[in-house]
């Protein structure tokens, strides 16, 4: 892992953008990774429920966040101010890794994502990452989250055969987007530039 120790997520990583019932509208703050779509789209379309719900390839900064009706103008202004305080950054998706029931691409370095996550969590303590389920949050871009985790080794082999030669994939994070599912599928509701 190139000298970076990242703790594993617990075995019951089930609180994702698409796995929770949409009893009420939700929001999430994410860094979109459109450059990764050609690499991961076929796998996400088949194996990641969030892709079917309209969520593009991304690294989550905070989920869940304020329900859409509760996002007041002062909250939006605070988000804009907060993200303006973080410079845009380059990162790479370097290798496929695994939580117990998820295959993901690891962004390197993870530090800029962790700084975003900490900043938002500190500014909005009523909305801890993943509802406070995990002591440590691992930045990741989900590739597959099959219902049957027994399929993970097969999906991993298929992904590595098709995509490993294309890694690392180099990207630039220049904004954080607010997504919501107030109208059914997830959509971008607002964009916040990093560095103002």
Grade residue 196 by pLDDT with cuts at 50, 70 and 90.
confident
Q: Of 93, 59, 57, which is closest to residue 169 (Cα–Cα)? A: 93
Grade residue 116 by pLDDT with cuts at 50, 70 and 90.
very high
Q: Quick one: average pLDDT of 72-85?
A: 96
Torsion of CA 111, 75, 172, 16, to 10 degrees: 70
pLDDT by residue (tens digit) across 4-56? 233 344 444 444 555 444 568 999 999 999 999 999 999 999 999 999 999 99
Residue bearing tokens 């993970």: 152
pLDDT score of 135: 84
pLDDT of 169 higher than 80? yes
**CA–CA distance, 156 with 54 (Å, rounded to integer):** 23
Task: Calculate what percentage of the chain has a pLDDT beyond 70.
Answer: 88
Confirm if 91 and 140 have CB atoms less than 8 A apart.
no
Q: Of 196, 177, 76, 179, which is closest to residue 124 (Cα–Cα)? A: 76
Please determine, looking at this structure, whether the domain spanning 27-193 carries the CATH number 3.30.930.10.
Answer: no
pTM of the predicted structure, to 2 decimals: 0.88
pLDDT score of 174: 98
**CA–CA distance, 32 with 17 (Å, rounded to integer):** 14
Confirm if 58 and 30 have CB atoms less than 8 A apart.
yes
pLDDT by residue (tens digit) across 2-16? 332 333 444 444 445
pLDDT of 84 higher than 90? yes
Grade residue 71 by pLDDT with cuts at 50, 70 and 90.
confident
Q: What Rg, from alpha-carbon coordinates, does the chain have?
A: 16
**CA–CA distance, 193 with 85 (Å, rounded to integer):** 10
Strands 58-62, 175-180: pairing kind: unpaired
DSSP assignment of 61-126, as one string? EESS---GGG--HHHHHHHHHHHHTS--EEEEEEEEEEETTEEEEEEES-HHHHHHHHHHHHH-TT
Confirm if 128 and 161 have CB atoms less than 8 A apart.
no
Confirm if 27 and 67 have CB atoms less than 8 A apart.
yes
Task: Calculate what percentage of the chain has a pLDDT beyond 90.
Answer: 83
pLDDT of 195 higher than 90? yes
Question: What are the domain boundaries of the chain?
Answer: 27-193
Residue bearing tokens 């993943």: 130
Mean pLDDT of the chain: 90
């Amino acid at each position: 892992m190139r000298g970076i120790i990242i703790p594993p997520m617990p075995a019951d990583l089930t609180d994702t953008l698409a796995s929770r019932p949409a009893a009420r509208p939700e929001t999430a703050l994410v860094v979109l990774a459109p450059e990764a779509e050609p690499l991961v789209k076929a796998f996400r379309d088949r194996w990641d429920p969030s892709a079917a719900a309209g969520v593009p390839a991304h690294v989550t900064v905070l989920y869940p966040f304020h329900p859409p009706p509760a996002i007041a103008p002062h909250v939006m202004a605070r988000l804009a101010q907060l993200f303006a305080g973080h410079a845009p950054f380059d990162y790479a998706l370097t290798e496929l890794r695994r939580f117990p029931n998820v295959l993901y691409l690891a962004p390197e370095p993870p530090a800029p994502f962790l700084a975003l996550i900490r900043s938002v969590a500190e500014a909005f303590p009523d909305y801890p990452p993943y509802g406070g389920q995990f002591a440590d949050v691992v930045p990741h871009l989900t590739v597959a989250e099959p219902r049957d985790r027994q399929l993970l080794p097969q999906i991993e082999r298929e992904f590595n055969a098709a995509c490993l030669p294309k890694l690392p994939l180099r990207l630039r994070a220049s904004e954080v987007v607010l997504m919501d599912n107030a109208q059914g599928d997830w959509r971008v509701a607002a964009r916040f530039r990093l560095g103002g």
